Amino acid sequence: MDTYVRDYESQSYSFTDAYTSLIRKVYVWMTLALVMTGLSAYYVASSPSLTLAIFSNSILFYGLMIAEVGLVIWLSARIYKMSLLTATLMFSAYAILNGVTMSCIFLAYTMSSIATTFFVTAGTFGVMALVGSVTKTDLTKMGQILLMALIGVIIASLVNIFLGNGMLDIIISVVGILIFTGLTAYDAQKIKQMLINCNEVNDQTQKLSVIGALSLYLDFINLFLYLLRFLGDRK
């Protein structure tokens, strides 16, 4: 009996240790991706030649946008069939490409307002990720509603490109902030549930960490962009 108890405690410890390691990787990879996005965005914005080449050529700019969307869809769909190295490289490539297309914010907004918005986003994200990780309430239904609302926001945003309605743009921004604030908590809980049953750290379980990091990265970036519409001071 004593041997059984010791074996059970040993297995329990390994399970907890694996979960702790994997959840740490989620936030480390997400943070590294944000750093790569920020650095690539700043580098492009600091280069007049690159800025001119990208934003004066609509074919190139929209080509980068399409490549960006295609890459994240491909990574999400194929991650379990690729190696861990390939998955992390694709995630890194997406983060850098996202930074290239986001470099326009350095041209449109002041550095101080970008920095302020980043810290507000980080604080909001941190609180909601913590809520999602510790709450005992099942957020699945809320997540499903938010995902449907996100589809509506995307459609409204596309329509407003042609309408150019300022009031509609404000409404879209408010709804977008609420959606990604909620999705942060939902995704944090989903990632916890996904990793909590992993009893070892291997390539397959680390891929779960990569896809979790991608989800939270997207939540952070979108929350930041919607907040920037309110808090950002335009040049």
Number of domains composing the chain: 1
* pLDDT attached to residue 16: 65
Of the candidates 228, 222, 132, 138, the residue with the CA atom closest to the CA atom of residue 182: 132
pLDDT in tens, 112-152: 999 999 999 999 999 999 999 999 999 999 999 999 999 99
| Banded pLDDT at 34 (limits 50, 70, 90) | very high
Residue 192: give the domain boundaries.
Answer: 2-231
**CA distance readout (Å), 179 to 104, 140, 183, 201:** 24, 14, 6, 32
